[in-house]
Amino acid sequence: MKDLEILKSAIRDVPDFPKKGIIFKDITPVLKDGKLFSLAVENMTEPFRKQKIDSVVAIEARGFIFGAAIASVLNCGMVPVRKQDKLPYKTHSVNYALEYGTDTLEIHIDAVNKGENVLVVDDLLATGGTAQGVCELIEKSGGNIIGISFLIELAFLNGRKRLGNYPIHCVLQL
């Protein structure tokens, strides 16, 4: 099997989690295997290696795992985006669409400076609402979005169309 096929086959489907009808893509078997984790990080980083990136902005919670590793590879900073009331300092916030209803994401007001080049990272692209919210927060801060990198894309949900013209990179289509 090719590397990416091995990586793909390590992602575990968990039906009806966290609620009925959702097939949860469990990445913990990838994290557990050093070679696969590093393969995932390398492939998520690859298209952006030669670009000038000041910060990786990563989304709570699984985005932090890949975001921190990618920031370390790119030798740049890492900025957390979190759900409402989790960040300790002053924040920008944005409401974003969930499958049913809305939620709020926040970023520290001084986390991304005007004109900084940012790479957005999360584990999985589903409807695109979360990444769209993060992009709004970066735009509010004056950051320049160089691209968005995901390990997994649930292509049938067509989340890409919500992310406009930002360069989107997904390692695996499931």
The count of residues interacting with ligand AMP (CB under 6 A) is: 16
Do residues 123 and 63 touch, judged by C-beta distance below 8 A? Answer: yes
| The one catalytic residue among 5, 12, 46, 99 | 99
Token representation of residue 70: 């990618």
The least distance separating ligand AMP from the CB of residue 107, rounded to whole angstroms, comes to 15
Antiparallel, parallel or unpaired: β 23-26 and 12-15: antiparallel
Contact track, ligand AMP, 114-153, x by CB under 6 A? --------xxxxxxxxx-----------------------
The least distance separating ligand AMP from the CB of residue 114, rounded to whole angstroms, comes to 27
What 3-state DSSP class applies to 76? coil
Identify residue 170 by its one-letter amino acid code: C
Tell me how far apart the alpha carbons of residues 144 and 151 are, in angstroms, rounded to a whole number.
22
Tell me how far apart the alpha carbons of residues 24 and 90 are, in angstroms, rounded to a whole number.
33
Tell me how far apart the alpha carbons of residues 102 and 58 are, in angstroms, rounded to a whole number.
20
Q: Which stretch binds ligand AMP (CB under 6 A): 3-11, 16-24, 30-38, 135-143?
A: 16-24
Pick between residue 40 and residue 59 the one whose CB is nearest to ligand AMP.
59
Site residues for ligand AMP, 39-98, by CB under 6 A, read 59, 62
| The one catalytic residue among 5, 62, 139, 162 | 62
The DSSP string of 61-73 is THHHHHHHHHHHH
Q: Which stretch binds ligand AMP (CB under 6 A): 21-29, 68-76, 78-86, 137-145?
A: 21-29
62 is catalytic: yes
Q: Which one of 25, 82, 92, 108 is in contact with ligand AMP (CB under 6 A)?
A: 25
Q: Does 159 bind ligand AMP (CB under 6 A)?
A: yes
The DSSP string of 117-154 is EEEEEEEEESSSHHHHHHHHHHHHHT-EEEEEEEEEE-
99 is catalytic: yes
Active site residues per annotation: 62, 99
Where do contacts with ligand AMP occur on this chain (CB under 6 A)?
22-25, 59, 62, 122-130, 159
